[in-house]
Amino acid sequence: MVGSFEFDAEIRTTTGKGDARRSRRLGKIPAIVYGGGGDPVGLYLTHHRVSKALENDAVYSHILTIRYEGQEVKAILKALQRHPSKPIIMHMDFQRVNEKEKLHVHIPLHFINQETAVGVKKGGIVSHALVEVEVSCLPQNLPEFIEVDMSNVDLGELVHLSDLKVPNGVELFDLTHGDINDRTVASIHTNRPTDAEE
């Protein structure tokens, strides 16, 4: 995995909407870290530092380090609440990571060789049905992204979850529930309108 993300936090001792509003006015984000066999801990993070870190998509699929009161906690970002109209992060949920317990995390898909795909050379257009997939793996095996190589996909062909190459120790969560969940990831189709559209 590339890079690391570290957040300095302070303990949040009060709760409630009034406290949350006050903290946001001071440039702080209310947050909680839970799971991993420990009690939930309320935290404040610094808004401008978190905003800058979130400019990198890898934050959503990396193990993060959260520091508070002299301790370091490894965690993943489980939920992020944004203001509907302002560039404000309202709340963050982090889940502690246990090195011996599998994680369920949404990982972005990176599509490669789209312009040179067999079907595109014949005039086709690439459509993405998914932009991320849920994986199950131990923390040390967590990939930053999963590549989808489109080079050999022809006109009218579909790429399914089962076609993806995933790293050792990583499972696609949907496929652990049987082939019925082998969803379409991408396809190449003509841009001619169908009979129904005409």
Cα–Cα distance measured from residue 179 to residue 176, given in angstroms and rounded to the nearest whole number: 8
Residue ranges, CATH 2.170.120.20, the chain: 103-189
What local confidence, expressed as pLDDT, does residue 2 receive? Answer: 42
Burial per residue of 143-165, b for 16 or more beta-carbon CB atoms within 10 angstroms, e otherwise: bebbebbbeebebebebebeebe
Superfamily of domain 5-96: Ribosomal Protein L25; Chain P (2.40.240.10)
Summarised one tens digit per residue, pLDDT across range 14-23 is 777 777 778 8
**Closest Cα partner for 102 from 33, 3, 176?**
176
What pLDDT, in 10s, does the model give residues 103-135? 888 999 999 999 999 999 999 999 999 999 999
For residue 178, the model assigns a pLDDT of: 81
Q: Return the CATH number of the domain spanning residue range 103-189.
A: 2.170.120.20
Q: What is the pTM of this model?
A: 0.77
The pLDDT value given to residue 192: 63
